Amino acid sequence: MKPGADTETLKRRFKLFAVVISILMCRVWETVQSQRLERQLKSLHVESDRLTYENGRLQMQIHQYEAPSHLEALAKTNFAMIPLDPAHRVGLQP
């Protein structure tokens, strides 16, 4: 055997080993990133569900405040307003 042939074989094996190790490291990195993104996606889904619930609750609260009964109660308590007596109404006659 020639001494140069052994070093060439050793260099090829080292290059092959380096390529295999690089591929394996890329796979590990890919798996870790995938798991990290999956956890992030789950937390975003939870946040989305919470915000959807909060939006529905606030919409319901807006509808309650816009209800005529609520507005009438506010007018009576805060502004001392009472329903107008029909005898005191002034308007145009048709």
Which pLDDT score is estimated for 30?
98
User: pTM score, two decimals?
Assistant: 0.57
Q: Convert the pLDDT of each residue in 15-35 to its tens digit.
A: 999 999 999 999 999 999 999
Mean pLDDT computed over every residue of the chain: 90
Q: Examine residue 38 and state whether it is found in any structural domain, yes or no.
A: no
Residue range 32-60: average pLDDT?
Answer: 98
Task: Enter the tokens of residue 12.
Answer: 């090829």
94 confidence band (pLDDT: 50, 70, 90): low
Number of domains observed in the structure of the chain: 1
Helices 3-66 & 68-79 angle (0-180, nearest 10): 60
Q: Examine residue 69 and state whether it is found in any structural domain, yes or no.
A: yes
Q: Examine residue 17 and state whether it is found in any structural domain, yes or no.
A: no
**CB atoms near residue 41 (< 10 Å):** 10
DSSP 67: S
- Please give the residue range of the domain that contains residue 70: 48-77
Q: Examine residue 57 and state whether it is found in any structural domain, yes or no.
A: yes
Q: Examine residue 70 and state whether it is found in any structural domain, yes or no.
A: yes
Q: Examine residue 60 and state whether it is found in any structural domain, yes or no.
A: yes
Which pLDDT score is estimated for 6?
87
